[in-house]
Structure 1
Amino acid sequence: MNNQTTTDDRQVLIVGLGIAGMASAIHLHKLGWQPVIIERASARRTGGHSLWLFEAGEATAKRLGILDNLTDRTDPNSPTYEINREDERRKGFNGFQQGRKLLRGDIEQALFEQLPPNVDIRFATTPTSIAQDANSATVTLKHLPTNVETTERFDLVLGADGVRSTVRKLAFGPHEDYLEPLNYMIATVKLSKPLEGYRKDEGLILVEAGRSVWVFAYADDNGTVLFSYKTNDVREEFSRKPIESLRRAFGEQPTGSLLGQLLDQYEAADDASFASVDQVKMDRWHNGRIALVGDAAWCPTLYSGMGASTALLGSELLGDMLEIYPDDLEQAFNNWEGRLRPFVEAVQRDALTDRVIFTPESEVQRVLRATVFSLSSLPALARVIEGMNSSKELKSFDIVARSMPTQGGITKPVRITNVDTVLVAEFDHDPRATQALSVLKQAAANGQVVLARAGVVKRSAQGEWQLLDQYSAIDERSGTKAGGLVGTLLGALAGPLGTLIGGATGAFIGAARDKAEVAYDETVKDQLVELVQPGTTALIAGIGFGANDVVDGEMRQLGGVVKHFAANTLKAAIDAQVEVKRVADRAERQQQAQAWFRNQRQQFDEVWNEVRQKVQAAIAESRGKL
């Protein structure tokens, strides 16, 4: 689709003056685009709720030139306590040590100051219709205070206008088609004054089944509050005033000192927020000359902590692809999505797990959560839990740098444990498959793909297999250096918590294991080998959240037949097979136990009969003598 001019007067309409919108404007302006930014609100927002900017977002912030203006508000000496309504407290969750603690307004202020002075910003303006042809997009803009509408033409339209994006609704369809509700509500407010009876530097967490409230402490401010609760009817929650829904959600029992003060401050605030928790799920983030960025395209929810980071890096990567393919919007969009989507989907999956940390939906989850956190205080178990934390890898992964070609050198291969796709490339000749492994390793070194583990497997016409070569970038704590297909590829199938199968069973390779562990290893091996056609030699690789379109092309140039399999689908199949084996094994053990008892009973009966006969004979003999 060669449909874009290469002159420096290309105009892009950016809808939304938030993080994704301003980051896009800054980057595209550097590339020669002329941004026009429209914002529905009548003025720029300030303040806002707590957020964290992680290494993935910090890398983009640094390249945009705003990182030095983002001062971490974390108080390193601030304690965090879990507290109940009776004001009983214990040491609380301390998992927010990664990244910079900020207010949303901190990032927006830094971005706003970085905008070029000639950028056209129009407040109280929204799009009402978008039409496009091969050369441009025609947008009708409405100035809300006057209801005056104007029509303008743009080379590109970016929707950066949040979860309920107007651009998405106009260009892609109604919200209901793309919003995936989690059936939770959140409310945030910035504290207007310190809490009575509590120190200003204390982080406070009150967690109950299906509801929670968090107070985030700051080194230089009063802090912010996050209310979160589960609901069976989101629409009903919006039918009342937010404070009424909050008070109903937290029950009629006495609130206690902390919760009572927080609800009162929320009710008195002018800038409190209240929203449902929804993830945005879309097959495509672009349509012709229209694209979505940030929450409008992929909202990971506040539970992920990655909203700001993905908004920054997603906007930067889009600009990079537009720079590489200046004359082909479709190619730029496709390469952008191909590189970014696996990463974003991994972030969204982790948000579903992290939600349990914020608000366990049941008493069972609450107890399990408390147990895990209490055990994490033990150094040995803390290291194990740390190793299970796949979200930490996501938060520190610079997907933008890894998606760009290297200049004059090779970047260090990334070590990663979270794998989304199992790639299988089948070849008629062994050398081609071995060469394909070298190509894949080089692509990983160049940042074109994220490679965890790979092996070259030869499968005979009779179905027997042989491992010819292997590669692993998995950290030693997460797997094993033992040879063999199982030791090499177990880590390709990560669970919902990022816990490696390789971490759970791979460490047992070469040691004594029970039947269940052996069954799991054998099932993984069988499942992976079954992906390879008999009579071929194949490269099997665990691929992380990275692009593989370039790699696929190189595999095909070598004569390979390339197939992709979703890791979570394979894992589900393996889990199902293992469960069948487990049930069968349990039934077999029960049968063996029953047979053993029957045998023991039979032996007992035989001995008892013999003893009884001898006793009866002795009694008869005694009577005869009498």
Structure 2
Amino acid sequence: MTTTDTTPHILISGGGIAGHALALQLVRSGIRTTVVERADAPRAGGQAVDLRGASRVVAERMGLMPGIEARLLHERGLSYVDGSGRVFGRMSMEDFDGKGAVAEIEIARGDLDEVLREALAAASAEAPGLLDLRYGDRIAAIAQDADGVDVAFERAAGERFDLVVGADGVHSATRRLAFGPEEDFSTYLGGYMAFFTLPTPSDVEPGWFSMRFVPGATFGIRPDFDPATSKAIITLRVDRDPALRGDRAAQEALVRRSLEDAGWHAPTVIDAMREASDFYFDELARIDVPQAANGRVVLIGDAGACGSPMSGMGTATALIGAYLLGARIAETPGDPAASARRYSADIVPFAEAGKQLMGGGIQRMVPANRFEALMSRAMTKVMLSRLARPIVKKMFAANQEELPLPVTAPAPVRATPVE
């Protein structure tokens, strides 16, 4: 062990939902934790997060609900609009008992991360010295043996840890270094998604997530916690283009081409995109890693399993995974490799449920041409009718609601500060 005979030193690569949630669990359990995040500051923005079933239970057990409830989006439901903004279909939260596209507990990803960071700061204040949170750095190399993991960083000096956790997303560097190249685990799902904040248009119906189908794309405007702003969500059905990765100008150009004849608020969305400080764009990819643990390196969140943002379950699964891994490490802190193996088995049913795509994936969710756009509109009207409502409820019900958590994290301890 690198710290004491019973207390490990854990490295978490990635300062997002999964990384912060796990760090919170570990610090509360008195475990020394280092978090390294390549960005210079926490990332704002992202899509709304539904907390249902097991993920809601986890949020309650972690004591996050007061902070979450203070930042709820209070969405009324999903409405579908035509090119003039006229509504032709609705899925209200009440009509679908919170089991439709909008759940009872909805919070913006950035706001959930803020809740976690506030809780982590409070836990760290209770035990100074347990948490080392580093921005602007990343893992450069990993070499593990039976007793620990030697890690080289791009900026900081190398260190030795008892366990390395990859919480660094779909394009995980930890996974690449310890498990293999990205192409071994990633499957392109036929498109891209973009998210960013924009000023709320004056004629958008308050509280409703408004969505429009157009050939090759869907785009919507979703409520934010601050009513003065909203979230733009864009899905593009196109062939994969590796040149798009990391090139914001090319990404914006693709969005403009895809929405130039879309009507409704497409011009507003395109104009806001240029100024958005939280612009996020990435390919839709499914991540399948057969075993989340490889010795003393383990993956949580999108790094280990992901159905793409279309699943709507990525953040919820990340929260569950962080809770389960934190609980397993707290059970056997003297053997973190064994903790990782148990977690790898625990997470499987949740990861598989989180990879399911509601609505059949991009081929059904995004029309390829004008004819399919017209068909999508017609089918939406049918599916949102009273007759079809029970069927739609079953389609949207989160699979994770049926899955019990296999372990309970211990109550927080008042750890001895590290000198």
Q: State the TM-score, normalizing by the size of structure 2.
A: 0.84
Task: Compare 4-13 and 40-49 and name the one that shifted more.
Answer: 4-13
**2:352 maps to 1:345:** yes
**2:384 maps to 1:385:** no
- Aligned equivalent of 1:54: 52
Shift of 1:207: 0.7
Q: Is the 8 A contact 2:36 2:134 kept in 1?
A: yes
**2:169 maps to 1:170:** no
CA distance, structure 2, for counterparts of residue 257 and residue 381 of structure 1:
28
- Aligned equivalent of 1:546: none
Shift of 1:199: 4.0
CA distance, structure 2, for counterparts of residue 360 and residue 302 of structure 1:
18
**SS state of the match for residue 150, structure 1?**
coil
Report the number of matched residues.
392
Which of 14, 17, 34 does residue 16 from structure 1 map onto?
A: 14
- Aligned equivalent of 1:121: 133
**2:228 maps to 1:230:** no
- Aligned equivalent of 1:487: none
Q: Is the 8 A contact 2:39 2:136 kept in 1?
A: yes
Q: Is the 8 A contact 1:303 1:358 kept in 2?
A: no
Distance 1:286 1:80, change over 3 A: closer
- Aligned equivalent of 2:412: none
**2:106 maps to 1:105:** no
Shift of 1:32: 3.2
Q: Is the 8 A contact 2:89 2:384 kept in 1?
A: no
Letter in 2 for 1:170: L
- Aligned equivalent of 1:140: 152
Task: Compare 347-356 and 121-130 and name the one that shifted more.
Answer: 347-356
Shift of 1:40: 0.8
Shift of 1:109: 1.0
Distance 1:351 1:28, change over 3 A: farther
CA distance, structure 2, for counterparts of residue 110 and residue 219 of structure 1:
13
Shift of 1:355: 4.3
- Aligned equivalent of 1:73: 72
- Aligned equivalent of 1:418: none
Offset from partner CA, 1:191-216 (integer Å, 9 cap, x none): 1x221443444432111243100111
Offset from partner CA, 1:348-380 (integer Å, 9 cap, x none): 133572546642446676555444432344434
Structure with higher helix content: 1
CA distance, structure 1, for counterparts of residue 77 and residue 330 of structure 2:
46
CA distance, structure 2, for counterparts of residue 357 and residue 106 of structure 1:
30
Greater gyration radius? 1
CA distance, structure 1, for counterparts of residue 117 and residue 60 of structure 2:
15
Offset from partner CA, 1:120-156 (integer Å, 9 cap, x none): 111111111111111111111222xxxxx41111111
CA distance, structure 1, for counterparts of residue 322 and residue 166 of structure 2:
11
CA distance, structure 1, for counterparts of residue 115 and residue 305 of structure 2:
23
**2:218 maps to 1:241:** no
Offset from partner CA, 1:250-282 (integer Å, 9 cap, x none): 35xx44341111111112222211111111111
- Aligned equivalent of 1:420: none
Map 1:504-515 to 2 at 5 A: none
- Aligned equivalent of 1:404: 407
Map 1:275-290 to 2 at 5 A: 275-290=282-297
Letter in 1 for 2:72: R
CA distance, structure 1, for counterparts of residue 233 and residue 83 of structure 2:
17
Q: Is the 8 A contact 1:10 1:32 kept in 2?
A: no
Q: Is the 8 A contact 2:2 2:160 kept in 1?
A: no
- Aligned equivalent of 1:150: 157
**SS state of the match for residue 344, structure 2?**
helix
Map 1:18-57 to 2 at 5 A: 18-57=16-55
Map 1:428-467 to 2 at 5 A: none
- Aligned equivalent of 1:160: 167
Task: Compare 47-56 and 8-17 and name the one that shifted more.
Answer: 47-56
Map 1:251-290 to 2 at 5 A: 254-290=261-297
**SS state of the match for residue 157, structure 2?**
strand
Long gaps (5+) in structure 1: 144-148, 406-626
**SS state of the match for residue 29, structure 1?**
helix
CA distance, structure 2, for counterparts of residue 352 and residue 15 of structure 1:
33
Task: Compare 347-356 and 201-210 and name the one that shifted more.
Answer: 347-356
CA distance, structure 2, for counterparts of residue 216 and residue 70 of structure 1:
18
Offset from partner CA, 1:220-273 (integer Å, 9 cap, x none): 42220101011123225456522211122235xx44341111111112222211
- Aligned equivalent of 2:213: 207
**SS state of the match for residue 65, structure 1?**
coil
Shift of 1:397: 3.8
CA distance, structure 1, for counterparts of residue 2 and residue 150 of structure 2:
15
Relative contact order higher in (CA < 8 Å, ≥ 6 apart): 2
Letter in 2 for 1:162: G
Letter in 2 for 1:296: A
- Aligned equivalent of 1:511: none
**SS state of the match for residue 280, structure 1?**
strand
Map 1:273-422 to 2 at 5 A: 273-350=280-357, 353=360, 355=362, 358-361=365-368, 366=373, 369-386=376-393, 388-389=394-395, 391-400=396-405, 403-404=406-407
Offset from partner CA, 1:301-344 (integer Å, 9 cap, x none): 11111111101111111222334444544543333222321331
Distance 1:280 1:290, change over 3 A: same
Q: Is the 8 A contact 2:353 2:400 kept in 1?
A: no
**SS state of the match for residue 140, structure 1?**
strand
CA distance, structure 2, for counterparts of residue 398 and residue 5 of structure 1:
36
CA distance, structure 2, for counterparts of residue 279 and residue 46 of structure 1:
23
Letter in 1 for 2:27: H
CA distance, structure 1, for counterparts of residue 9 and residue 325 of structure 2:
16
Distance 1:377 1:130, change over 3 A: closer
Long gaps (5+) in structure 2: 93-99, 409-419
CA distance, structure 2, for counterparts of residue 44 and residue 198 of structure 1:
29
Distance 1:92 1:341, change over 3 A: same
Distance 1:364 1:289, change over 3 A: farther
Offset from partner CA, 1:153-191 (integer Å, 9 cap, x none): 111111111111111111112212221111211111111
Q: Is the 8 A contact 2:74 2:106 kept in 1?
A: no
Shift of 1:59: 1.1
CA distance, structure 1, for counterparts of residue 380 and residue 304 of structure 2:
34
**SS state of the match for residue 102, structure 2?**
coil
**SS state of the match for residue 35, structure 2?**
strand
CA distance, structure 2, for counterparts of residue 381 and residue 331 of structure 1:
48
Q: Is the 8 A contact 1:140 1:150 kept in 2?
A: yes
CA distance, structure 1, for counterparts of residue 376 and residue 273 of structure 2:
27
CA distance, structure 2, for counterparts of residue 383 and residue 224 of structure 1:
29
Distance 1:151 1:67, change over 3 A: same
Q: Is the 8 A contact 1:318 1:333 kept in 2?
A: yes
CA distance, structure 1, for counterparts of residue 89 and residue 12 of structure 2:
45
